[in-house]
A and B are shown apart, each in its own frame.
Chain A
Amino acid sequence: MSKSFWRNLNAVAMISARDLIKLLRDRTRIGASFIFPFVFIGILGGSLDANLSKDVGYNFLVFVFTGVIGQTLFQSTASGIISLVEDRQNDFSQELFVAPVSRYIIILGKIVGESLVALVQLSGIILLGILFRVPMNLTQLTLMVPGLIICCLFGGAFGTLVMANLSDQRSANQIFPFLIFPQFFLSGVFSPITKLPPLLFLLSRLAPMTYAVDLMRGLYYSGRPEYSKVVLYSPAIDLAVISGLFCVMLLVGTVMFVRNERNK
């Protein structure tokens, strides 16, 4: 292997390790990563389950649980990438941009790092799942692992595309929630989206998060009787859409970011 390959690999390892260390030393953030899933799964999922499960014919808490997994991984990685804009004016990021490391490697390291962070935060959700007695077995979990990683990378690519178009912290804080919150509902994390009015149907199928959520459900429900009621598309179709979007978003996002970064 060439010297520059190892050097880049070290840089990716270092950039991603930094994100992970930051998370592990931030107790408030770790606490928050348990509180939000609790609100979503425990409170929202629990109340929906008590009122709707009989009518829809499947356990709503499990439905929300699987959705939150896809949503959290996608969102957490995406917002982690956005932080590169937020702290490039102060903090270590300045140091990143002046180091002899290509912008592509910085983005790659950031995606890997924020994916690791998202996966650590996932442990809170899994723990809640166990607490609320969501049925899980080893085969299911093994099947879901590649899906988890794919959701993170997908969120990373989405984050890169958004970040490339944000010039400063203020616009990041204002625009990012606007791009992420509608997707909560359009992607069917909390509510079924099999039947929707035409406009909402179109928007929901355009929202990238939809495919992350549906992939996680496809993997979780595979071989279960509820599969046909809950899952929109087969994991193969989700995967094809995700791969396509991933490549386009990452490529366009990275090229734009590198260009915008220097051409002010």
Chain B
Amino acid sequence: MSNVITVNHLIKHYRKAKTNAVDDVSFNVEEGEFFALLGPNGAGKTTTISILNTTLAKTSGQMEVAGYNVDTQSSQVRQSIGVIFQNPSLDLNLTAEENVRFHAVLYGLYPYRPSFALMPSAYKRKVKELAEVLGITGQIYQPIKTFSGGMKRKLEIIRGLIHNPKVLFLDEPTTGLDPESRQNLWQYLMEVRKKQSTTIFLTTHYLEETEDSDRVCIINHGKVIALSTPHSLKKKFVDEYVVVDSHNREELQKELLKHTFQFEGNGPFKIPLQKNSAQEVVSALKTKLSVLQIHTPTLEEAYLEVIKEDHE
């Protein structure tokens, strides 16, 4: 797999700032990868995205997106990317169709015509398809003021994908959406990814959204402090363990000692799963249990550990 984004020693120093907002950051993103950039507020995520999407100049470093130099070939870079911003970027005075039309014209896909009826037939077909995907066939010609937050976000994503970008940048795309809309949006994104093998570059504060990502990069104070797969991050930073308890604690404790399971506490007992699997532990126990919990680490826990360690 070749890299679709390369970042080498990126530094960004804002005018009048005391420290670097992005401080010697390097990473690559492979083609088709689902890459998540995580970090606390002010860590440098949006700065990094802004530099990659050519709206902000770097202080130093080399960057390429889709094979183009971010500094010298910014127009080609912009043509190859789609960006979903933190703040909504739809024009509320326009209809859904007009928002899409204006995007398509700006990206040079179709010539501009003052009304939908005058647009080329290829465009009309595409819009009808999109309306079906969105489930808004009836409302596509209405001003989007009345749309729900989730629907607007979906429309932005559809619009951002209309020029078939190689990379889709999503800067906290689900902030402010209700759980149902969020789930809906992710379902759609994952479908698109499967169909078009678009690279996804995501920043978010909802860590569960990154569980399915290929790799996560955690930055803090402008520096990369972890870059790995979610699996290995969790493995490295969070313990997997089983918690058991019984009304007959003495019996249970004897049994644990007999099987030489390491454990913590005098009941409930916490058994770290380093040597044994959860199944091995559970099937070895004959004492009737009153509590049985298998703790599988989440990326959120791993993330919090990484940040905590960095602060120490």
**A residues at B contact (CB < 8 Å):** 6-7, 10-11, 13-14, 17-18, 21-22, 25-26, 89-102, 261-264
Does A22 contact B93, Cβ atoms closer than 8 Å? yes
Apart from A92-B89, A101-B106: 17 A-B pairs, beta carbons within 8 A:
A10-B108, A13-B105, A14-B106, A14-B112, A22-B91, A91-B91, A94-B85, A94-B89, A95-B85, A98-B54, A99-B103, A99-B107, A100-B78, A100-B106, A100-B107, A264-B15, A264-B56
Chain B residues with CB under 8 Å of A92's CB are 89-91, 94, 99, 102
B111 in the interface, Cβ–Cβ < 8 Å? yes
Q: How far is the CB of B237 from chain A (nearest CB, A)?
A: 35
Q: CA separation between A203 and B15, bound complex, in Å? A: 34
- Find chain A residues with CB under 8 A from B76 CB: 100
The verdict on A95 contacting B89 (CB below 8 Å), with A14-B112, A101-B106, A102-B75 known, is: yes
Across the interface, do A91 and B89 meet the contact criterion of CB distance under 8 Å? yes
Q: Which residues of B contact A102 (CB under 8 A)?
A: 75
When distances are taken between beta carbons in the complex, the residues of chain B under 8 Å from A13 are: 105, 112
Chain B interface main SS type: loop
Interface CB pairs A-B, < 8 A, 15: A10-B111, A10-B112, A11-B106, A14-B105, A25-B143, A91-B91, A92-B102, A96-B106, A98-B78, A100-B107, A262-B54, A262-B55, A264-B15, A264-B56, A264-B57
By a beta-carbon cutoff of 8 Å, the part of chain B in contact with chain A is: 14-15, 53-57, 75-76, 78-79, 81, 83, 85, 87-91, 93-94, 98-99, 101-103, 105-108, 111-112, 114, 143
Cα distance, A13 to B55, chains bound together (Å): 23
Of all chain A residues, which has the CB nearest B21? A264
8 A-B pairs with the lowest CB-CB distances in the bound complex, closest first: A92-B91, A262-B57, A100-B78, A99-B106, A100-B79, A90-B87, A10-B112, A94-B89
